[in-house]
Amino acid sequence: MKDLLKLVIGLFITAFLTSWFATDVVLCKNTKWEYPTNLADLLLDMYHERSFVSMLLMKPTNMATVLWDLKSIFKWEIPKIVMKPGQEFELRNVFNKEVIAVVFMPSNFDALLLDTCAQLFNNTRQTRIVVAADDSKASPTQFEKQLLQAAESYKMTRVILAYLNSKGGELSSYLKLQPYPNYEWRNPTNHDYFYPEYWRNLHRKKVIVFAEQSIPGVFLFKDSKGNIQYSGHLGKLIELFVQYYNGTMQPYQTPKVDKSTFYTNIKELMEEELIDIPMTTDSGVYDKWHRKSACIEVTQIKLMVPCPSPLTTPELFPLLLDLKFIGSLFIGTVVFSFIHSLFDWIFGEMVEPWSFLLDDKGLPSLLGQSFAARVSPRLSLKILYLIMFFAGLYTYMHFGAKMKTLFTTPPYHRHIENFQELNRSPVTILVPDTVFGEPPHPIDKLIRTKDNAFFQEMRQSLNTSYGYITSQNSWELLKQIQRGISHKKFCLYNNLTVKSPMLMAFRLQRNSVFKEPLDALIHRVHDVGLVQAWYSQTFADMLKQKEIKFKYSTEVPGASALNVGDLRWLWIILTICLLFDTVVFFVEISIGHYVGPWG
């Protein structure tokens, strides 16, 4: 009873506190907005708009000469770190991205101080920043211009310039940075956000893209009017990004429908900041993930090899005449010959010594053929003939059923299970020189080509002269091409994996301003399932442009006559038997000549 009472009291207190805090939040939201009077009030309003858990204070070396009252800021019970120009600190190792930076520039523009701040926020340059300056500057326009240029060069998009009174630190005015379409300062308006998500509207800002034609990621074709159209899930994603955020897509190079940029190494272009977003994905193996967008797909890099083919007719005979069958014939012949000869010897018949190993009744009976039975009233001999009949019937029916099964539905060759078997097989692997890395096991028969168009054409046409490297999404396209074939031309096996798993994402510039909007769009695209729809649309576009064709076969293989080559094993067995018979014949003649005079 006491525990129940404690539980009821606890729930009551929780409900009361929850409702009180909720009411307090509502009251704060409905309170009429008032212009902040000092820097602390400005920071408090920013906190109410979006909370932060830590604060970075950037102070110049001559901060002691400024008569600003900053005690209220230091009274905040949140982690704070004070830095000076030229100092270094691994900020992301201690604080998360919910941090605000306050940069004090009471006199002139301090390029070193802002550079220190920018280096502290490497890969998170879009952090909220407040630059506090003295309102008694002789040339505020020049200061604003220098700060604007520096913010653009450092790719900072959330910056507020606050002018403070030199005699106490009251807030005189503040300006907000408008990064799109061009960097400029704007005066705030009532009930406006301090740090709005500017990336939701790029205001037709140019987004320089690079279309790498790696199908099915990007597929370029011309429409009926001769205009270049982008297909593929990567091309559609970038088009949606530019359209959704009101940007303007500008190709780095004039796109050509020739697949010449397949698997192009774009690392140098990104380092030189010549392109904003490449239409190609990369893994985070060699670079850190903060240089890339959110994950677009998880894939594997494998080797696609020709599927096993059915055994030919000459290859079926070793399965029929295997050691088990030959051994059973040999043992059965010896057993029946010995028992039959033993009965003859016991009952006083004339028996040759060779008859105990091979007589004229043992082998024919096992093969289901007729033989001349001895007329005898002996019941034991009749029972032996009956056993030999059933043994021959079983052997004949078993062999006939197995032969019919093998010839009508022949088995397949063994598939390539690992890299060792790949090296022993006649399959040669064709790979593009710009993408292939070292596999987990060396490949002996490997051809590297710099002709990327040739590689794509050979792989998409399912040319079985080579095996190819492929990703998981590319394999889905190739698998659809083979849907109409009863016997698939290419197969994929888990033991022929080159790299797995691989998280694929867009490679971006350092501190790219497009990372935040691109990540938000990628997550939304995955939520609604657009990637799978784009896969299907890409396949349809490639069919319309006759880039690929369905591989199908309606011909049912009919019966065909056996030729000389198909009966190769029969000729081999016949030749061996004749040779053995000839040797035995001459041996008997030699023995007859040797023992004849003495007989």
Residue 278 lies in a domain: yes
Higher pLDDT, 113 or 312: 113
Residue 381 lies in a domain: yes
For 154-219, where are the alpha helices, taking DSSP H only?
none
Q: Is the pLDDT at 133 greater than 50, yes or no?
A: yes
**Domain end (from 376, 408, 440):** 408
- pLDDT score for 234: 92
Is residue 146 located within the same domain as residue 290?
Answer: no
- pLDDT score for 441: 78
Distance of alpha carbon 68 from alpha carbon 74, whole angstroms: 13
Q: Is the pLDDT at 28 greater than 60, yes or no?
A: no
Q: Is the pLDDT at 265 greater than 70, yes or no?
A: no
Q: Is the pLDDT at 564 greater than 90, yes or no?
A: no
Interacting residues of 222 by C-beta distance below 8 A, sequence separation 6+: 228, 229, 257
Please tell me whether residue 40 adopts helix, strand or coil conformation.
Answer: helix
pLDDT band at 1 (very low <50, low <70, confident <90, very high): very low
Question: Domain containing 249: what range?
Answer: 198-306+416-556
Is residue 295 located within the same domain as residue 328?
Answer: no
- pLDDT score for 7: 37
Q: Is the pLDDT at 35 greater than 60, yes or no?
A: yes
pLDDT band at 327 (very low <50, low <70, confident <90, very high): confident
- pLDDT score for 152: 92
Residue 19 lies in a domain: no
pLDDT tens by residue, 219-233: 888 888 888 888 889
Residue of 215, 308, 304 lying closest to 257 (CA atoms)? 215
**Domain end (from 383, 408, 433):** 408
Distance of alpha carbon 448 from alpha carbon 152, whole angstroms: 44
- The helix (run of H) or strand (run of E) holding residue 172 is strand 171-178
Q: For residue 412, what are the CA distances in angstroms to 304, 309, 395, 409, 555?
A: 18, 5, 25, 9, 19
- pLDDT score for 184: 92
**Of the segments 96-110, 353-367, 506-520, which one has the largest average pLDDT value?**
506-520
- pLDDT score for 598: 47
Is residue 502 located within the same domain as residue 477?
Answer: yes
Give the DSSP letter of residue 135. Answer: T
* Cα atoms in the 13 Å half-sphere on the side-chain side of 556: 4
- Averaged pLDDT score across all residues of the chain: 81
Give the DSSP letter of residue 484. Answer: B
Angle at 122 between CA 118 and CA 128, to 5 degrees: 60
Q: Is the pLDDT at 20 greater than 60, yes or no?
A: no
φ, ψ for residue 348, nearest 5 deg: 85, 20
pLDDT band at 11 (very low <50, low <70, confident <90, very high): very low
Residue of 474, 473, 468, 476 lying closest to 498 (CA atoms)? 468
Is residue 191 located within the same domain as residue 233?
Answer: no
Is residue 491 located within the same domain as residue 569?
Answer: no
Residue 351 lies in a domain: yes
**What is the Rg, in whole angstroms, of the alpha carbon atoms belonging to the chain?**
43
The secondary structure of the chain in percent helix, strand, coil, rounded to multiples of 5, reads: 40, 20, 40
Cis peptide before 439 (omega within 30 of 0): no
Residue 7 lies in a domain: no
- pLDDT score for 2: 46
Is residue 441 located within the same domain as residue 536?
Answer: yes
Q: Give the torsion through C-alpha atoms of 249, 252, 253, 257, to 10 deg.
A: -50
Average pLDDT over residues 282-299: 76
User: Which CATH number do you get for residue 49?
Assistant: 3.40.50
- Provide, rounded to the nearest whole percent, the portion of the chain with pLDDT above 70: 84
**Domain end (from 388, 408, 428):** 408
Residue 5 lies in a domain: no
Is residue 291 located within the same domain as residue 258?
Answer: yes
Residue of 306, 257, 571 lying closest to 463 (CA atoms)? 306
Q: For residue 238, what are the CA distances in angstroms to 96, 131, 180, 216, 272?
A: 29, 34, 19, 14, 21
φ, ψ for residue 100, nearest 5 deg: -120, 140
Q: Are 508 and 125 in contact (CB under 8 A)?
A: no
Residue of 471, 477, 468, 423 lying closest to 447 (CA atoms)? 468
**Of the segments 149-163, 326-340, 429-443, 541-555, which one has the largest average pLDDT value?**
149-163
Q: Are 199 and 517 in contact (CB under 8 A)?
A: yes
Determine how β-strand 80-83 pairs with β-strand 99-105. unpaired
Among 13-27, 74-88, 107-121, the minimum mean pLDDT is found in 13-27
**Of the segments 212-226, 438-452, 505-519, 538-552, which one has the largest average pLDDT value?**
505-519
Is residue 334 located within the same domain as residue 345?
Answer: yes
- pLDDT score for 520: 93
Distance of alpha carbon 339 from alpha carbon 478, whole angstroms: 64
Distance of alpha carbon 164 from alpha carbon 152, whole angstroms: 24
pLDDT tens by residue, 474-516: 888 888 888 767 778 899 888 888 887 788 899 888 889 999 9
Which pTM value belongs to this model?
0.73
Is residue 121 located within the same domain as residue 34?
Answer: yes
Q: Is the pLDDT at 385 greater than 60, yes or no?
A: yes
pLDDT tens by residue, 165-219: 877 778 888 999 999 989 999 988 766 788 888 889 999 999 999 888 778 888 8
CB atoms within 10 A of CB 473: 22
Interacting residues of 51 by C-beta distance below 8 A, sequence separation 6+: 98
- pLDDT score for 378: 74
Hunting for tokens 């067995």 — which residue is that?
A: 573
Is residue 535 located within the same domain as residue 580?
Answer: no
Is residue 190 located within the same domain as residue 268?
Answer: no
Average pLDDT over residues 329-343: 83
pLDDT tens by residue, 457-468: 888 888 888 999
- pLDDT score for 147: 93
Residue 181 lies in a domain: yes
- pLDDT score for 10: 47
Q: Is the pLDDT at 90 greater than 60, yes or no?
A: yes
| Token output for 113 | 């101080």
Q: Is the pLDDT at 451 greater than 90, yes or no?
A: no
Give the chain's domain count: 4
Higher pLDDT, 403 or 18: 403
Interacting residues of 219 by C-beta distance below 8 A, sequence separation 6+: 213, 230, 231, 232, 235, 538, 541, 542, 547
Q: Is the pLDDT at 38 greater than 90, yes or no?
A: no
Cis peptide before 179 (omega within 30 of 0): no
Is residue 296 located within the same domain as residue 277?
Answer: yes
Q: Is the pLDDT at 57 greater than 80, yes or no?
A: yes
| Token output for 457 | 């054409």
Q: How far apart are the first and last CA of the chain?
A: 121
- pLDDT score for 254: 82
Average pLDDT over residues 349-368: 76
- pLDDT score for 596: 57
Determine how β-strand 219-222 pairs with β-strand 228-231. antiparallel
User: Which CATH number do you get for residue 522?
Assistant: 3.40.190.10
Among 15-19, 21-25, 81-85, 366-370, the minimum mean pLDDT is found in 21-25
Chain centre to alpha carbon of residue 308:
25
Residue 545 lies in a domain: yes
